[in-house]
């Protein structure tokens, strides 16, 4: 089966055997499962672009050329139709949406199926073979032969046409068959994953062709930075309609991240009711129950019957997107009880709501931390948790999907603190990145030490700092481990900021500091005693010359540098509690926190202290 790259630049020959041009492109009709080639485009005499109907004028394609069934002077040229596209122009080296793999990929080549004189497009080659083939055919053959030698054959990576969707053209102009799985048929979460892989221009182009409901649901699934970018790229009227059709809590999160003028304009363009629902949520602080609750809940008076309640649900329609519980309130909106939707359906129509409602409810206030709300929902298996004010007036509910999002955010935050990766665009690239970050994090102390040695040697300070350099790995490892302990504490005690917790951690670090100090001093005394005894024996026997003198000088230098290294290690250990406090404050402000960055800063600070103390000791010894 041929590929498009193999067909391009092949000659087009008429019935008289005269070459009339070389293939420049092929056209397909998009309304088929596997589209047939409808026209061939080529450059004629004087490089004039021409196009002829494949069905009408092509006799065959023999793998090396296109043969026409008539002489060149009998050809009538055709034009590209609205439901047609050119393969090389519109698909080659373009991004497409793989609606089966749910990702955005780049078209490296296109595979063609041949049956007699008829050609059809099978799909896109998105693997390495397509790149090699487009560069030079011999590169593809060489790569395949090398793969066979190592028993790791390279395989085609073909995405069938019926699982492709275009992102660089007007999607509404492509009339594909019902068997073609389109973006409109995907779950909003899957559409959001695809949109996040596109550049901003393509993202808004695809987003504009989603229907209103799917656009609202997809917007809710996007990450915050993509939501803001999309709103900025949309017309204000369209953005206002979109936000009004979203769940109020999701819309409030987006509007809260917009500049004040932009947010006010979008709210003003909305209807009064939609604007009021969203504004009611904007007053609550982030990461609280009020910030994630929705005011869309079903409340009924206690003297209403089951039949009246069901009729209210029917009349409400889309006003109640999530109905798991029916909340019983009085005329002032005070929460009195609740019943499940199941209990409502199973009860007889004449039954009063107060006879079914459970009155002993677990509730939360709007200022409570969102993590505590998620824990309550998880612990008791609730589908929703009512949020009430100090007077027990029902303000809204936090649903289980909101709780799951909070848990996911917390998990991502913990991974971020620990220096883990959240994934990338491609498994192989992601694995290389993870491996590199792991190496950098684990061996950073060695890299810093090696660079330090090189700099001191180049500066001519080896004789002065040779002892400090010998003990620098000890200081660097202490600093690295201190940061690791602090990060572990940050993960374990991230939900608490009380003085008791910090005090306990400070006492633990103080004990570790004393242990490091005692161990370091014992080693220093042992080294000094052994050195003095051995040197006295050597002087008494044959003296000290040559390599032995160099060795003893090095040992003396290390001995002199021991005390500064021990002091530095103690300072680093006791000050690691500051890393915990700093990290907690960064996370409270919703700012990024880099484990590797903190370790790098602490290591450089430790080296500055160690070498500074070593220099002072050297000066005091000289004096």
State how far the Cα of 281 lies from the Cα of 292, in Å rounded to an integer: 8
Q: Reply yes or no on whether the pLDDT at 394 is more than 90.
A: yes
pLDDT number for residue 105 = 72
State how far the Cα of 181 lies from the Cα of 464, in Å rounded to an integer: 72
Task: Summarize pLDDT for 113-130 with one digit per residue, the tens.
Answer: 777 778 888 788 877 777
CATH topology (fold) of 297-400: CBS-domain (3.10.580)
Which pair of tokens denotes residue 185? 């048929």
- Averaged pLDDT for residues 5-34: 85
Task: Summarize pLDDT for 561-601 with one digit per residue, the tens.
Answer: 677 777 877 777 777 777 777 777 766 666 666 667 777 88
Per-residue pLDDT band for 425 (boundaries 50, 70, 90) equals very low
- CATH for 186-283? 1.25.60.10
Give the alpha-carbon dihedral of 45, 50, 56, 57, to 10 degrees. Answer: 20
The domain locations on the chain are: 4-166, 186-283, 297-400, 427-622
Task: Summarize pLDDT for 208-264 with one digit per residue, the tens.
Answer: 778 888 888 888 888 888 888 888 888 888 889 999 888 888 888 888 888 888 888
What share of the chain in percent tops pLDDT 90? 11
**Angular region, 93: left φ>0, alpha ψ -120 to 50, beta rest:** left
Domains 4-166 and 186-283 share a fold: no
Who wins on pLDDT, 39 or 172?
A: 39
Pairing of strands 109-115, 95-98: unpaired
Task: Summarize pLDDT for 260-298 with one digit per residue, the tens.
Answer: 888 888 888 887 888 888 888 887 887 888 888 988 889
pLDDT number for residue 178 = 27
pLDDT number for residue 177 = 29
Paired residues of 109 in beta bridges: 125
State how far the Cα of 90 lies from the Cα of 289, in Å rounded to an integer: 49
Residues 6+ apart with CB under 8 A from 570: 513, 516, 517, 520
Give the alpha-carbon dihedral of 439, 440, 446, 449, to 10 degrees. Answer: 170
pLDDT number for residue 158 = 76
Per-residue pLDDT band for 152 (boundaries 50, 70, 90) equals low
Overall CATH class of domain 4-166: mainly beta
pLDDT averaged over every residue in the chain = 76
Per-residue pLDDT band for 362 (boundaries 50, 70, 90) equals very high
Task: Summarize pLDDT for 175-193 with one digit per residue, the tens.
Answer: 332 233 456 666 788 778 7
Who wins on pLDDT, 507 or 166?
A: 507
What is the phi/psi pair of residue 120, to 5°?
A: -135, 150
Who wins on pLDDT, 510 or 37?
A: 37
Of 197, 9, 194, 236, the C-alpha closest to 185 is 194
Who wins on pLDDT, 102 or 308?
A: 308
Min mean pLDDT across 59-68, 103-112, 197-206 is at: 197-206
Task: Summarize pLDDT for 84-98 with one digit per residue, the tens.
Answer: 888 888 888 777 766
Q: Reply yes or no on whether the pLDDT at 337 is more than 90.
A: yes
Contact 57, 75 (CB under 8 A): yes
State how far the Cα of 192 lies from the Cα of 224, in Å rounded to an integer: 12
Paired residues of 158 in beta bridges: 125
Q: Reply yes or no on whether the pLDDT at 352 is more than 90.
A: yes
């Amino acid at each position: 089966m041929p590929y498009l790259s193999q067909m391009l630049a092949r000659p087009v020959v008429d019935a008289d055997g005269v070459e009339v041009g070389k293939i420049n492109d092929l056209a397909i009709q998009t309304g088929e499962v596997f589209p047939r080639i409808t026209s061939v485009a080529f450059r004629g005499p004087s490089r004039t672009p021409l196009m002829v109907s494949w069905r009408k004028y092509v006799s065959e394609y023999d793998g090396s050329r296109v043969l026409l069934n008539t002489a060149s002077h009998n050809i009538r040229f055709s034009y590209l139709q609205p439901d047609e596209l050119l393969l090389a122009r519109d698909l080659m080296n373009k991004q497409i949406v793989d609606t089966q793999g749910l990702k955005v990929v780049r078209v490296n080549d296109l595979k063609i199926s041949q049956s007699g004189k008829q050609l059809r497009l099978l799909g896109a080659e998105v693997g390495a073979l397509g790149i090699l083939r487009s560069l030079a055919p011999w590169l593809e053959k060489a790569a395949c032969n090398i793969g066979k030698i190592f028993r790791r054959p390279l395989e085609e990576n073909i995405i069938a046409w019926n699982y492709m969707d275009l992102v660089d053209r007007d999607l509404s102009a492509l009339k594909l068959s019902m068997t073609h799985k389109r973006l409109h048929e995907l779950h909003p979460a899957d559409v959001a994953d695809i949109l996040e892989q596109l550049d901003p221009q393509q993202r808004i182009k695809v987003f504009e062709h989603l229907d209103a409901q799917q656009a609202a649901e997809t917007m809710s699934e996007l990450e915050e930075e993509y939501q803001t970018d999309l709103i900025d790229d949309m017309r204000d009227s369209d953005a206002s309609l979109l936000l009004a059709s979203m769940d109020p809590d999701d819309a409030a999160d987006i509007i809260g991240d917009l500049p004040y003028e932009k947010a006010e304009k979008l709210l003003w363009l909305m209807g009064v009711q939609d604007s009021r629902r969203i504004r009611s949520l904007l007053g609550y602080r982030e990461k609280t129950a009020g910030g994630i609750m929705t005011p869309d809940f079903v409340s009924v008076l206690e003297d209403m019957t089951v039949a009246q309640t069901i009729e209210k649900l029917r009349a409400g329609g889309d006003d109640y997107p999530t109905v798991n519980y029916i909340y019983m309130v009085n005329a002032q909106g005070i929460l009195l009880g609740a019943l499940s939707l199941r209990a409502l359906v199973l009860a007889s129509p004449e039954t009063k709501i107060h006879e079914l409602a459970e009155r002993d409810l677990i509730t939360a206030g709007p200022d409570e931390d969102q993590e505590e709300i998620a824990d309550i929902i998880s612990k008791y298996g609730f589908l929703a948790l009512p949020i009430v004010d100090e007077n027990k007036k029902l303000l809204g509910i936090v649903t289980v999907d909101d709780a799951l999002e909070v848990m996911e955010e917390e998990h991502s935050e913990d991974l971020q603190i620990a220096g883990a990766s959240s994934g990338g665009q491609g498994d192989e690239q992601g694995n290389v990145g993870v491996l590199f970050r792991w190496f950098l994090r684990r061996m950073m102390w060695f890299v810093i030490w090696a660079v330090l040695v090189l700099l001191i040697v180049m500066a001519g300070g080896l004789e002065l700092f040779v002892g400090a350099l010998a003990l620098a790995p000890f200081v660097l490892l202490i600093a690295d481990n201190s940061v690791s302990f602090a990060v572990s504490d940050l993960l374990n005690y991230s939900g608490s900021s009380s003085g008791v917790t910090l005090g306990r951690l400070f006492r633990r670090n103080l004990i570790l500091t004393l242990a490091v100090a005692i161990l370091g001093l014992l080693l220093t005394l042992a080294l000094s005693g052994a050195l003095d005894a051995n040197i006295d024996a050597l002087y008494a026997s044959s003296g000290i010359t040559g390599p032995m003198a160099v060795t003893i000088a090095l040992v003396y230098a290390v001995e002199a540098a021991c005390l500064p290294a021990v002091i530095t290690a103690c300072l680093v250990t006791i000050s690691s509690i500051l890393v915990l406090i700093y990290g907690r404050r960064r996370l409270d402000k919703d700012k990024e926190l880099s484990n590797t960055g903190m370790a790098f800063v602490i290591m450089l600070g430790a080296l500055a202290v160690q070498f500074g103390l070593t220099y002072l000791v050297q000066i005091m010894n000289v004096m």
